Amino acid sequence: MFSPRVLRLLGQSQKCRHHSTGTLRAMTHIQKSSQLPHVEPGKPFEVSKVIGDSMFPSLDKVSASDLVLKKLSNDQGKAWYTITRTRSGLLPVYSDIKADGSVKTVIRRIEGDVSQLRNDIKLALGISKHDIYIKDTSKQIVIRGDYVSHVKQILQKAEF
Amino acid sequence: MSMRTWGQNLLKAVTNNAVSSLTSKRFINIAARKATPANYVLATYRAFPSLEPIRFQPVSKDLLGLPVRRDILWQAAVYERDAARVGSREILGRGDMGYSKKKLLPQKGSGKARQGDRGSPIRHDGGRAFGRAPGHDYSTELPKQVYAKAIRTALSYQYQQGHLLIVDDVADFVTGHENAGKLFMSEHGLVGKSVTFIVDNFRNNLNDATVKQRRVEIVSKEGVTVQDILKPQRLIIESRALMYLAQEYQPVSALNAISPKPIETAA
């Protein structure tokens, strides 16, 4: 595979130059994985109405409240977070059983201030700060020990 | 009351106490900090090549407002790099070493250890057992939904950094002269910066004018990868191409929920 610079220097056909990075890379990608649909470059496409309306609505169809963060209480603090439910409507709190038999509690799907939520859960459970931590790459909270039902209870009380 | 029941009662009391303390004021903080993020971001659509703002367009937070998930981006990048490997490395096996294929010693009677042929992998200068042949496929797999989320997360990241410039119409120059490309870069302070264009269709003048720009890439919308989105310092995308990506890598519909809820119909 050539870099786009090399392709240009080689004076490849116009089509090749155009899709210098994209298509060549995509082709290997598609051929090998066969996961992504094969699409002819530059082929006209129609945006489905559902996607057009839901992801790119016109300005007059969007209310001002859609564009700002919605606080659900009168709390004046700046920190906020939310935990979205899974597609099956459950709270994303799981137990992770390790090979040595120890159990960790994992909280997923957190948006907003993760460290604030960690602090609040730490207070609510009354556990040490060494037993609760954030996985920074995935924004998950992990608690050492099985606190699944406790955490779910806390989150249900807070109406997540 | 035996000692044992006393102990059990005490334990019960303690746990009840713990649960009731949970239900008192400790969790109030959590409820008070609950908030839902905005459903849409107000993206600025721009003219080309002036890049002047033309209008605002609400775009779903699922496309441009996702939080950065480095784990997902990393997985997608690894997936792409794996798929891009040609696998042309040639490893010599026992038959490829150029030695004789003949057995070195008779099986019995020499008084020495048993020997096979000269290229046997057991010898220090023998061939490699089970060496990979060229055309080896290094590609790995990634769930479609994860890859789609990676694309949307990458776009969100560039948008949040202010590095995503959405062109309302066609990102093309009126001329293919190289000065058009030079002027564009200098006018917008992009000299020395890596810039990637994602175009809906082939843009002849854009291509010709930027051929000599070392750090300009043009990518067709069908071939966009996560790395194409993440790498450049400025990402210039046509609105049609953005819509294409939104459609191609759309989030999973709530209708595909694991346990379907009844759909409300306007009967």
Residue in B71, B238, B229, B56 with CA at minimum distance from that of residue B152: B229
Region of residue A115 (phi > 0: left; psi between -120 and 50: alpha; otherwise: beta): alpha
User: Can you give the pLDDT at residue A51?
Assistant: 84
Per the structure block, which two tokens stand in for B192? Answer: 């020395």
Residue A76, class by beta-carbon neighbours within 10 Å (0-12 exposed, 13-18 middle, 19+ buried)? exposed
pLDDT tens across B82-100, in order?
988 888 888 999 999 999 9
Domain positions in chain B: 38-87+137-253, 94-133
Q: Is the CB of residue B20 less than 8 Å away from at least one CB of chain A? A: no
Distances (CA, A) of A68 to B35, B43, B58, B106, B212: 10, 14, 12, 85, 43
- Residue B144's identity, in one-letter code, is K
Distance from CA of B50 to the nearest CA of A (A): 23
> Does the pLDDT of residue A70 top 50, yes or no?
yes
CATH class belonging to B38-87+137-253: alpha beta
* Band (A31; pLDDT cuts 50, 70, 90): very low
Residue among B35, B40, B202 minimizing CB distance to A70 = B35
* Band (B197; pLDDT cuts 50, 70, 90): very high
Superfamily (CATH H level) for A81-157: SUI1-like domain (3.30.780.10)
Question: Are B243 and A51 an interchain contact pair (Cβ–Cβ within 8 Å)?
Answer: yes
ipTM of the predicted structure?
0.76
Mean pLDDT (chain B) is 87
Per mean pLDDT, which range of A65-69, A70-74, B168-172, B241-245 is the poorest?
A70-74
> Does the pLDDT of residue A23 top 80, yes or no?
no
Question: Are B144 and A28 an interchain contact pair (Cβ–Cβ within 8 Å)?
Answer: no
Q: Are B76 and B70 in contact (CB under 8 A)?
A: no
**Hey, what's the torsion of the CAs at B217, B89, B78, B224, to 10 degrees?**
30
Q: Is the CB of residue B258 less than 8 Å away from at least one CB of chain A? A: yes
Cα separation, B175 vs B205, whole angstroms = 6
Please measure the distance between the N-terminal and C-terminal CA atoms of chain A and give it in whole angstroms.
49
Cα separation, B29 vs B26, whole angstroms = 7
Supply the DSSP symbol for B34: B
How many Å separate Cα A145 from the centre of its chain?
25
Domain positions in chain A: 4-67, 81-157
Residue among B225, B259, B261 minimizing CB distance to A26 = B225
